[in-house]
Structure 1
Amino acid sequence: MLFVAFAVAACKKEGAQSTKATPSNTDTVKKASATIQFSGYTWNIKNTGSSTMGPGPNYWNKDNVWVDSNGWLHLKVSKNTTTNRWECAEVISTQTFGYGTYQWQVDGPLNALDKNVVLGFFNYNGVDGLHEMDIEFARWGVQANQPLNYTIYPASTGNPTFHQTYNFSLDDGTYTTHRFTRTANSVVFKSLGGFYDNDTNLFATSTCAPPYSVSTVSMPVYMNLWLFQGMVPSDNSSVEIVIHSFKFTPL
């Protein structure tokens, strides 16, 4: 049984909670040294070496990303025993996507991630605070915060950010499905218990529509697992999430 306690709507996410963080001038991402094939698409792996970069900022290691023999994508946050640095994971699609349904099927205790850990599925065009659609699992450093976040950053400046949060429990295992469908003027979010292409076991849904502004730009898809403000997990434990599939169905 999956249980949703309640949802909270907000006009915006606080800036400190943004999925992205603009790096300093000294922060550079190493030219993509690795790509992976996952769910029929090619993905670049973020790798910053000894430099940090947002979100966070954090260190990002290509070794914290891999696809196993089942074809499932693993993202990991862990402490590097050589450097004593905590390192994070991110992949970015080489292809851009437009109107349609974006769906992820995920294995992991997403309702119980450490308060400093963030898991994100989103599209983003590289401009912070604009043209972005997020599904995030994060408490933003505060244990009392609700873990499921749906966020839409507007298509142009001067418009509000859409943000809703949800509590949920996973009593029948750690398989969940998450998706959003974007059109020219709306985004519909859904989260379900188990792996389904329909609305079976739906436990959260929300619609962003006018007067909110929705991007019409085609963008790459990002998947990342990282540490809020670069803070180590409060339980000092590594975190690993397994993504069984990503599917895009164009309109």
Structure 2
Amino acid sequence: MKKIAFFVFVLSIWCSHVNAQVKTIKWSGYTWNVKEPAEATGPGPNFWSGSNVWIDASGWLHLKVSKNANTGNWECAEVASTESFGMGTYQWQIDADIDKLDKNIVLGLFDYSGTDARDEIDIEFARWGNSEYPNLNYTVYPKAGDPPKHTSYTSEFTSPNGTYTTHRFIRTANSVTFKTLYGHLDNEPRDNLFISKEFKSPQVSISSIAMPVLINLWLFKGLAPSNDQPFEVIIHSFKFTAQ
């Protein structure tokens, strides 16, 4: 009996230690886990640093890709909501030159079940290592049990009127509609809409489960920025409106 009690005590201490290692932040009305594993992990794989994630005095979230002067490693940033979200509107308001991202840097705004290539809906700004590729990517990965083919759409995004942009997708049981707009808006003035793209079931398999939201800034295949410069993205808000 004493051995069992001792084991339970040790286990509780170990669990407390593990839980203590998970850094969280409060932002935009939600709690977020900050990714900072000891070793390089995906996507990439990359090194990740909690120091590259912070909230400023205005309550805005900063994500940064930067080179660690001590290790020489480039380090990335990611947060994941502790809450899961289902059908509804997902919206991010960003302040950054995302149309000028280096060809090796990726900004991801998405919900994700945790299973690669399944139950995932992505907005990604990335050229995937090739400066000739279009930089705006919308992708819907199929729900578990359906054929593994994903559906995607790409476009060349430009932002001639400043760094404020709004990005959203509206997820229903039968469709996902992506929208990218100029400015920080909750509505949808025609003059501010850069693009809208709808994916519909049954042609496209759409996830039916609730999932966490993730936001990350990372390096394609773990490659350093081709310009050897750090890059920072400021996200003013994330908002979810249930359907």
TM-score, length basis structure 1: 0.86
Contact 1:32 1:46 in 2 (8 A): no
What code does the residue aligned with 1:180 have?
F
Aligned to 2:170: 181
Aligned to 1:93: 81
Residue 231 (1) aligns with residue 223 (2): yes
Shift of 1:160: 2.4
Contact 2:117 2:148 in 1 (8 A): no
Separation in 2 of the partners of 1:30 and 1:171? 45
Shift of 1:168: 2.2
Aligned to 1:84: 72
Separation in 1 of the partners of 2:227 and 2:19? 30
Aligned to 1:34: 23
In structure 2, list runs of 5 or more residues that go unmatched: 1-17
Residue 244 (1) aligns with residue 236 (2): yes
Aligned to 1:209: 200
Q: CA RMSD in A?
A: 1.3
Separation in 2 of the partners of 1:31 and 1:227? 28
What code does the residue aligned with 1:234 have?
S
Aligned to 2:14: none
Could you tell me the percent identity over the aligned residues?
A: 54
User: Which moves more between the two structures, 126-135 or 152-161?
Assistant: 152-161
Aligned to 1:194: 183
Aligned to 2:108: 120
Report 1:45-56 matches (<5 A).
45-49=34-38, 51-56=39-44
Report 1:107-186 matches (<5 A).
107-156=95-144, 157-186=146-175
Shift of 1:126: 0.6
Contact 2:108 2:216 in 1 (8 A): yes
Separation in 1 of the partners of 2:84 and 2:151? 23
Contact 1:132 1:153 in 2 (8 A): yes
Contact 2:124 2:136 in 1 (8 A): yes
> Aligned residue pairs: how many?
222
| Structure 1 counterpart of 2:52, from 51, 54, 64 | 64
Contact 2:89 2:241 in 1 (8 A): yes
**Structure 1 runs of 4+ with >6 Å offset:** none
Change (3 A) 1:161 1:68: same
Q: Which has the larger radius of gyration?
A: 2
Aligned to 2:213: 221
Separation in 2 of the partners of 1:132 and 1:230? 22
| Structure 1 counterpart of 2:61, from 43, 57, 73 | 73
Shift of 1:34: 1.1
Q: Deviations over 1:180-218 (max 9, x none)?
A: 010111100000000111112000111111211000000
